[in-house]
Amino acid sequence: MFKEQPRGISDQSAAQQAVEQTNVVLTSLDIPKDSLIHQYKWASHGFVGHLTSGQVEKLRKDPRIDHVVKDYYYKAIQTGRIESIGSFSNKSNMVATTQTTPWGVNRVGGPLDGTGKTAWILDSGIDLDHPDLNVDFNRSASFVANESADDNLGHGTYVAGILAAKANSQDAVGVAAGATVVAVKVCGQDGGCFVGDVKAGVEYAAGNFSSGDVVNMSLGFPSYATGISDLENSIINAANSGLKFTIAAGNEKQNANNVSPARVEHSNVWTVSAFRQGDAFSVIFDYDHCGNDNAGSNYGNPPIEYSEPGERIRSLLIGGGVGMGFDGPCTASGTSYAAPHLAGLLLVKGSVDLDGTVSNDPDGDPDPIAIDEEPLQVSVDGPSIVNSGDIAMFTSSVSHQEGSVSYQWYYRTYPEQSWILDSGATASTYSHTFYNSGGYENQAVKLEVNSAGETASDIQSVYVQPCTRTATTSGGTISPDNPQPCN
């Protein structure tokens, strides 16, 4: 890593300067340029390369270099079981013939319409031609040596399905249904990842994202991994520039501050724990005896902001179909699958609503559950044309209320008039007598409803046909504020 580092994401000029600086350093120290593996230029300035011990010593003595560390390899993709390639394939799982909505998608308020939104999946790749995903093939990239962005493990495809599976007639549906997903392969077919490759994936997303995009990272390293602070700094710099990150808290039943990048704290970075059906914290994952019965969601506030569904999660398999994620009776559980639920919400809504907290949180500070809560809505139904002197009836329909609903009706006799409160009209239905003796045809009624502190309203416009006979004057001067019935 160079001594001069950006505080956000570099512009084109600064990025090019980082590339040029790398070339100058390699040339001046007689390090072959084909030693270079990754160039960091967007969220950090530096590089990764195949280096001899002598070359490392030269770099460490160079005044332009801040530090040099050995890259760290780790099985950063944590699943219930990874025994062989294809554990997420559809070969030993029943292929769905009709679309299913997983319980987790329902629990967080999905599916939502993700059309036009983009999520970057830093993972094992994605099945690039999966029929139930909108994969951006052109922007998908691999930072794993000798592997394409296509998914050979299945973890990334499963995560992408939770986030963005299409709302169609097949397989499953995701939280942000139909969103575009970009495969950024940073982990190989065994779930193993170099810190340097993951950092390169963050750099790639940082250099190519648009406002509103979300990066999902369902992976984790021990906090002592060499180079891990450089990865975290890249995430923070990208977040400083507006890129959003959702990160799995980890599955070791420990404080999330002990793992990375889960421990990263930033307003645009969200670390996610897992809960099971019934909203109980996943203290121990139910893997149906798949060999990891002692695994459970990590905990700790901070860095965890929210908890999301993370047990018995159904999603997409490589090649099509829906399964529980593993061969045999095993089920897909883990914070890997909790994080993309939140990513889908942030992608579509930009923010989240809260719906209580999990029970049995080990740290005693229960994580809030993030959902998309549909806003209170009301619609008024009634006649749109009446004769002067008619009594009109109006009914209301309320949706997405919480608990009891209060009603208040208003009316007005001409468009510029302020709404007049009908103090006695506090039921779900309303009757009103309309007059048009002064030439004001465009009148209206309005209903306001309140539920759990939330307010919604709807207006019904009414065309009042004018009198064809002489209006009575027994009530005094005829005006819109003093309408009279026709004789």
Domains in the chain: boundaries: 12-61, 73-371, 377-465
End-to-end CA distance of the chain: 91
For 411-462, write each residue's pLDDT tens digit: 999 888 999 999 999 999 999 999 886 667 899 999 999 988 889 999 999 9
Q: Is the pLDDT of residue 4 over 60?
A: yes
Local structure of 185: helix, strand or coil: strand
Higher pLDDT, 189 or 375: 189
Q: Which residues pair with 431 in a beta bridge?
A: 393
In the structure, what pLDDT confidence band is assigned to residue 389 with cuts at 50, 70 and 90? confident
CATH 3.40.1350.10 fits 73-371, yes or no: no
Mean pLDDT of 364-387: 92
Return the percentage of the chain with pLDDT > 90, whole number. Answer: 77
Mean pLDDT of 367-373: 94
DSSP string computed for 193-235: EEHHHHHHHHHHHHHH--TT-EEEE---EETT-TTHHHHHHHH
What is the pTM assigned to this prediction? 0.79
**Section 333-354 average pLDDT:** 95
pLDDT of the residue at 83: 32
Give yes or no for residue 303 having a pLDDT over 60. yes
87-131 confidence digits (pLDDT tens)? 555 544 444 557 889 999 999 999 999 999 999 999 999 999 999
Give me Rg for the CA atoms of the chain. Answer: 30
Supply the pLDDT for residue 85: 36
Query: What is the per-residue pLDDT for 441?
Result: 85
C-beta atoms surrounding 110 within 10 Å:
26
Please pick, among 10, 45, 123, 458, the residue that the annotation labels catalytic. Answer: 123
User: Which of 2-11, 67-76, 328-337 comes out lowest in average pLDDT?
Assistant: 328-337
Q: Does domain 377-465 have CATH number 3.90.1150.10?
A: no
- What's residue 374's pLDDT? 79
Based on the residue annotation, tell me whether 155 is a catalytic residue of this protein.
Answer: yes
The catalytically annotated residue of 336, 388, 396, 437 is: 336
> Would you call 336 a catalytic residue per the annotation?
yes
Least confident of 77-86, 100-109, 242-251, 256-265: 77-86
Mean pLDDT for 466-474 is 58
Angle at 200 between CA 310 and CA 211, to 5 degrees: 70
- The catalytic residue among 38, 45, 130, 155 is 155
The pLDDT score that the predictor gives to residue 312 is 87
Distance between CA atoms of 463 and 13, rounded to whole angstroms?
63
Question: Would the pLDDT of 250 be above 50?
Answer: yes
Q: What is the rounded average pLDDT of the residues 181-187?
A: 98
pLDDT band at residue 482 using 50, 70 and 90 as cut-offs? low
Residue 64 has pLDDT above 90, yes or no: yes
Asked if pLDDT for residue 373 goes beyond 60, the answer is yes
